[in-house]
Copies of this chain bind each other. A is one copy, B any other.
Amino acid sequence: MTLPLLASLRPEASGAPASGIVELAKYARTSGDDVIQLWVGEGDLPTPSFIYEAATRSLAAGETTYTWQRGIPELRQAIATYASRLYGRALSAERFFVCGSGMQAIQIAMTMVAGSGDEVIIPSPTWPNAPAAAGLRGATPVFVELVHGNRGWQMDLDRLEAAITPRTKALFINTPSNPTGWTATREELAAILAMARRRGLWIIADEIYTRFVWREGMTRAPSFHDVREDGDRILWVNTFSKNWAMTGWRTGWVEADPSLGDVVENLIQYSTSGSPVFIQRACVVALERGESFVEHQIAKARKARDIISAAIEATGRCRFSRPDGAFYLFFGIDGVTDSNAAAMRLVDSARVGLAPGSAFGPGGEGHLRLCYLRSQDQIELAAERLAAAIPQL
């Protein structure tokens, strides 16, 4: 009875992949309260009260009805002001479209540029939701593996270009990268953009970790904003989740040329039909008054990166380099070929839950992903446990 139901669904839907982290997460969650949960991409702080209290006030004021599909004007302006400051160039509020999470921003961007018969090039290892979003549109994700060498994860631009076919419609560029920490230089972004212009491709730019950058003297990672010109085919996807500890708020934004505004608005209309006003009020406060909190988050991640990197290096058993950006350590362990099994064993032996690299596409197997946006106490404990357990793997 159930087989016919599943079998009668569209292949894009029934073929949408399950998360490769689920098995590990279920195992770790049922293995005891002392397991340190480092497999998920979020910090250990709840949303600060000065942010969520704006939502509370909005609810009490009765802001509980339908609203602007593109986002309330106050939030679009607050994003524009924030982005203009961050990128050092004037960006109009007309470029920004509030939507129901960074994931939904990716879904909308994929819908705009890729569909049945198309190909989308995605550097890998990658956050698996990007290729899944392409697949749901009927497009084929084409992976180009990053190269891991002495300077850490690197993009081979010739390989990137060699992957382009007449069916290619877009490049999905995530920098700083989840899971690898690969962080494109300005020169690399200029070269990728030149390639996209030359070949008539769209770029979907996922720069959500841009503030989490560890190169000397940088306050944000290089961005396509640094090299773009009007008319370039670039869509940015972004989220409130990481900077402001708002993973549970499911709010993000698309940035696009204002000439595409009606299309983005329609795609929001036919997805969630807009975001709750009371949530948007909190997002305004996050942008306008959240700077010291974001700086606190960044300082915490920087310290945690150093602690956990030193411990992993000291094992002498791991292939990895300190990441340039984002807040993940993505490392290989000598002799480990089944990362899911290794992650399970580390739950047992180290009481630390890590995400298996196999979840992150080609090039990921054999690695583990560790989220280090954690308190110093917790990361020191995890470092100590992993240092003891990894040599026994």
Contact = CB atoms under 8 A, between A and B. Distances in A.
Contacts of A46: 62-65
A115 interface: yes
B263 A276 contact: no
B272 A8 contact: no
B250 A276 contact: yes
Contacts of A275: 250
A86 interface: no
A72 to B, nearest CB: 11
A257 B59 contact: no
Contacts of A62: 46-47
A245 interface: yes
Interface in A1-55: 1-2, 4-6, 8-14, 16-19, 40, 42, 46-47, 49, 52, 55
Interface string A299-311: 0000000000000
Interface stretch (A103-111, A288-296, A327-335): A103-111
Nearest to A10: B115
Nearest to A251: B276
Interface residues of A, number: 81
A248 B16 contact: no
A122 interface: no
Given A246-B64, A249-B64, A13 B271 contact: no
B248 A63 contact: yes
Interface stretch (A132-140, A184-192, A312-320): A132-140
A262 interface: yes
A172 interface: no
Nearest to A8: B233
Contacts of A132: 266, 269-270
Contact of A5 (B56, B67, B233): B233
Nearest to A53: B59
A64 B248 contact: yes
Contacts of A13: 111-113, 263, 266-267
Contact of A272 (B55, B104, B273): B104
Given A46-B63, A133-B270, 13 more contacts: A1-B230, A2-B231, A5-B231, A10-B169, A13-B266, A16-B263, A19-B269, A100-B104, A136-B267, A250-B272, A250-B273, A250-B275, A250-B276
24 contacts: A5-B231, A5-B257, A6-B259, A6-B263, A8-B233, A9-B112, A10-B111, A10-B112, A10-B118, A14-B112, A18-B262, A42-B65, A42-B66, A46-B62, A47-B64, A55-B59, A64-B249, A65-B247, A66-B247, A66-B248, A103-B269, A133-B270, A248-B278, A250-B275
Please provide the 10 A-B residue pairs with the shortest distance between their CB atoms, ordered closest to farther.
A46-B62, A2-B259, A47-B64, A16-B266, A1-B231, A52-B59, A64-B248, A100-B272, A13-B112, A10-B115
